[in-house]
Amino acid sequence: MFANSPYLDGYPADVEGVRTRIWRGIDPVRTGYDGRHLDAADPIGAYTAFATGRSVPGWPPALTRRHPDGRHRRHRAMAALVFLLGFNVTRLRGVTAKAGGDQASMDPANRLFIAVRAHGNAIEYIPTLIVLFLLIGFREPAGWTAALMIGATAARLLHAYGMLTARALAAESVPRVTGAVGTYVFGIALAVTAFVSIW
C-alpha cells in the first residue's frame, strides 16, 4: 500500500520519516484520525492501536478509544429490547395455546395481540436507531450526541412498557405517549446529526 501513496514524494517506503508523512496524509474527517495520534517512532503501530481502541500510554482516553463502552451499551440495550419483546410474544403464544385460546385474536384487549404489536413497533424503529448510533459513533461525536442516544433508548423502553401495561391496544398512557414522542424527537435529531457529520 505504501508504493502507491502520494505522500512518498518519490522516496522508498523504508526511508526514515516517509511512513510518518503517509500517516499524516490520512484524512481526519473521514477516519477520525489526526496528527495528535502520531508516534514518530512507530506511526503505523500508533494508528493500529488507535483503530482497535487499545489504550496507549501517554495518550488521553478520548484519543485512545474511538467507541467508549457507553455507546456499545446503548446498542446492546436496543438489540436486547427487540429480542425480549419477541420472547414475550413466544411466551404468550405458549400460554395461549396451552389454555386453548385463539393465537390469532385481533381483540384489542388481548394480551398476545398487544405483545405482537409492541414487538412490531420496536422492529419498525430500533434497527434504524441502531444504524444512526453507529454512523454517529464512527465520527468521533461531540459529547451531547450521547444524550440523544440515551434519550432515544429511554424513549423506546418507555414506549414498550406503555404498550405492554395498557388495558387495550388503543389505550393511551404517559409512558407510551412519552416514548412515541421521544422516538420521533430523538430519532429526527439523530438523523440530522448523522447527515451533518457525514457531509
24 or 194, which is more confident?
194
Between CA 180 and CA 183 the distance in angstroms is 5
User: Which domains can be identified in the chain, with CATH numbers?
Assistant: 2-64 (no CATH), 69-198 (1.20.120.550)
pLDDT for the residue 182: 98
> Is the CA virtual torsion 136, 140, 144, 150 positive or negative?
positive
Model pLDDT for residues 81-137, shown as the tens digit of each residue: 999 999 999 999 999 888 887 788 888 889 999 999 999 999 999 999 999 998 888
Kindly state the cell numbers that stand for 103.
393465537
Q: Cell numbers of 187, please?
A: 430519532
Q: What is the pLDDT of residue 53?
A: 53
Tell me the one-letter amino acid at 11.
Answer: Y
Q: Which residue has the higher pLDDT, 127 or 26?
A: 127
Q: What is the pLDDT of residues 138-164, one digit of tens each?
A: 776 677 888 999 999 999 999 999 999
Whether 62 has a pLDDT exceeding 50, the answer reads no
Question: CA angle at residue 196 from 37 to 51, to 5 degrees?
Answer: 25
63 vs 84 pLDDT, higher one: 84
User: Does 183 have pLDDT greater than 90?
Assistant: yes
| Cα angle, residue 145 at apex, residues 162 and 182 outer, rounded to 5° | 20
Provide the H-helix boundaries in the chain: 18-24, 28-31, 43-52, 61-64, 69-98, 111-137, 144-164, 174-198
173 pLDDT tier (thresholds 50, 70, 90): very high
Which pLDDT does position 100 carry in this prediction?
82
Percentage of the chain exceeding pLDDT 90: 44
Q: What is the pLDDT of residue 12?
A: 52
Mean pLDDT computed over every residue of the chain: 77
- Cα(133)–Cα(125) distance, rounded to whole angstroms? 12
> 19 pLDDT band (50/70/90 cuts)?
low
Q: How many CB atoms within 10 Å of residue 59? A: 17
Q: What is the dihedral of CA 26, 32, 37, 38, to 10 degrees?
A: 0
- For the segment 55-60, the average pLDDT, to the nearest whole number, is 50
What pLDDT does 138 receive? 76
CA–CA distances in Å: residue 115 to residues 25, 123, 144, 152, 194: 53, 12, 34, 21, 32
Whether residue 49 has pLDDT greater than 60 = no
